[in-house]
Amino acid sequence: MKKFLDLISEEMKKAFGAAGYDRELGKVTLSNRPDLCEYQCNGAMAGAKLYKKAPIMIAKEVAENCGESGIFLSVEAVPPGFLNLKVKEGFVTEYLAGMAESEKFGLEKPENPCKIMVDYGGPNVAKPLHVGHLRPAIIGESIKRIARYAGHDVTGDIHLGDWGLPMGLIITELRERLPELIYFDGTYEGEYPKKAPFTISELEEIYPTASAKSKEDAAYKERAMEATFKLQNGERGYRALWKHIIDISVADLKKNYEKLDVEFDLWKGEADVHDVIPGMVDYMKKEGYAYISEGALVVDVKEDTDTKEIPPCMVLKSDGAALYNTTDLATIIKRMKDYHPDRIIYVADKRQNLYFEQVFRCARKTKLVEPETELLHIGFGTMNGKDGKPFKTRDGGVMRLEYLIKEIEEEMYRKITDNREVEENDARRTAQIVALSAIKYGDLSNQAFKDYAFDIDKFTSFEGDTGPYILYTIVRIKSILNKIKEQDEQLMEKARLREAGSAAEKALMLEVSGFNAMIEDAYKESAPHKVCAYIYDLANAFNRFYHETKIISQEDAEKKAGWVALLLLTKRILETCIDMLGFSAPERM
């Protein structure tokens, strides 16, 4: 279906043309004076210069040429030259009826569906997930779901951090503690044990200990770097240990991401491309892209038009070890070979901006991608505490993600059971669902690149621009529909959209009509916050309508059936949108 606003614009363009002006002046936007009109056109203002005529004159002529339109209820030329527009109830109703019947509410299929990879999550193995991992998971998941809904072929990849110095550090620390382990016997040729010589909690202690030691003890760090190099170059025992680290970490990560309703199609990591690296390095050397600088292998990526210094992209460290850049570049090669994506979206901290700029330029310069392949970094800001400083635990430590989730769930549980009799299991389950909406919506409703304050009181509130408010609205609609169904089962079958009978009803219908335009926009800009803004407005419009309208006790069956249809459509759209944001609604709240 064409977009609602486009249909109105077309009509306005016709009027401009009929009055003898450039049709393109007829572009219509939402009104910024909703008290005066629903839509507006500022074309006469722009036309004034072009035609050397007072804008109000143009506006009046255009208004006269709108004549008998199937779309406009009123077209008013107001000084200094605006066109204030209202649309006919029947036109809105027809449009919504079309939405209700079409697949995806009238969102058109893309002409050329894209193959997209979303690289998000990006946790490093052997470290517990902390609040810093929340944003890449939540934002990436939503960007993936929006693009998929918009009709594209999307693959999400977690891109585990599993191949760098941290691995060498863990191996070194293990060797220090348990030198007798078979993994450290260079002469051993047999099979290694199936069971890891450590648990996840031990692993989570080993890494920070090793990391701290390496900062104080240069020789220790030297050993860790050597271990990293050996691991990367295939030392059998180290590879076997590494495999244990991955298996144990991944099992734990899966559990955690599942709780967040974040689902990766691929669980690839930096290590998956280790065998791509030697060929890549040779190629970059042979083609003259890479050269040795202070021992390291680098590719120049600066351009004449740069206004800031862009340092060379390092491809190998001076000790020959692969680094973050190396695996990202090799991953691009592998992705191009295995999937040939049109676009790769990286959801990572905005502080890695320069890093991605270097990697992207290097990939283009060395022709790892096609000229038209898009490489896009969606850089997100920091999640702060209420005090505006990076989010910490009460005692100043880094908050584990599972504790944060637990805390929100407890708060929701308290709210749900406050002054009410609720069955314990039901309440726990509902608290989990609502808590997820609080966390995700609290994050996604902000533009990704902005820092934001994680404010538990605000995010868990049932009022205002929050996840729980949206869910509350959906639950309210469900409950009304259930009651009507109990009263009169047949009415549900007679549900049919009819013309709005009140301003609030029309306002709700107009909000609904913006769905397809909003999705296209949110997809184009990889911007989940646009989905949030839309459903917040929609929920507000619904609640205003609800407060003004006695739906359940309405006697006129036809009116009531019209409302049922509107409620059903509103509910389906809200549910579709929250699914794109990565959460769902409970039956009751």
Residues near ligand ARG (CB under 6 A): 119, 122, 124, 159, 161, 328, 346, 348
Minimum Å gap between C-beta 360 and ligand ARG is 11
Structure tokens at 354: 């320069």
Structure tokens at 456: 């538990």
Task: Yes or no: say if 129 and 400 are a contact pair by the CB < 8 Å rule.
Answer: yes
Task: Yes or no: say if 532 and 444 are a contact pair by the CB < 8 Å rule.
Answer: yes
Minimum Å gap between C-beta 163 and ligand ARG is 10
Backbone angles phi, psi at 400, to 5 degrees: -70, 145
User: How far does CA 85 lie from the centroid of its chain?
Assistant: 34
User: How far does CA 92 lie from the centroid of its chain?
Assistant: 30
Residue bearing tokens 């944003």:
135
Minimum Å gap between C-beta 354 and ligand ARG is 13
Residue 161 or residue 341: which is nearer to ligand ARG going by CB?
161
Residue 203 or residue 551: which is nearer to ligand ARG going by CB?
203
User: How far does CA 223 lie from the centroid of its chain?
Assistant: 41
Minimum Å gap between C-beta 561 and ligand ARG is 52
Q: Which residue is nearest to ligand ARG (CB)?
A: 122
Query: Measured between alpha carbons, how far is 155 from 537 in angstroms, rounded to an integer?
Result: 31
Minimum Å gap between C-beta 530 and ligand ARG is 24
Residue 125 or residue 531: which is nearer to ligand ARG going by CB?
125
Residue 159 or residue 361: which is nearer to ligand ARG going by CB?
159
Minimum Å gap between C-beta 144 and ligand ARG is 14
Residue 22 or residue 349: which is nearer to ligand ARG going by CB?
349
Q: Tell me which residue of 413, 137, 441, 103 sits closest to 260, measured CA to CA.
A: 137
Residue 152 or residue 268: which is nearer to ligand ARG going by CB?
268
Residues 6 or more apart from 471 whose CB is under 8 A from it? 433, 434, 437, 578, 585, 586, 589
Residue 117 or residue 564: which is nearer to ligand ARG going by CB?
117
Residue 161 or residue 528: which is nearer to ligand ARG going by CB?
161
Minimum Å gap between C-beta 346 and ligand ARG is 5
Q: Tell me which residue of 467, 481, 415, 476 sits closest to 584, measured CA to CA.
A: 467
Residues 6 or more apart from 277 whose CB is under 8 A from it? 322, 326, 327, 330
Structure tokens at 431: 């608290």
Minimum Å gap between C-beta 139 and ligand ARG is 12
Q: Tell me which residue of 275, 179, 272, 265 sits closest to 223, measured CA to CA.
A: 179
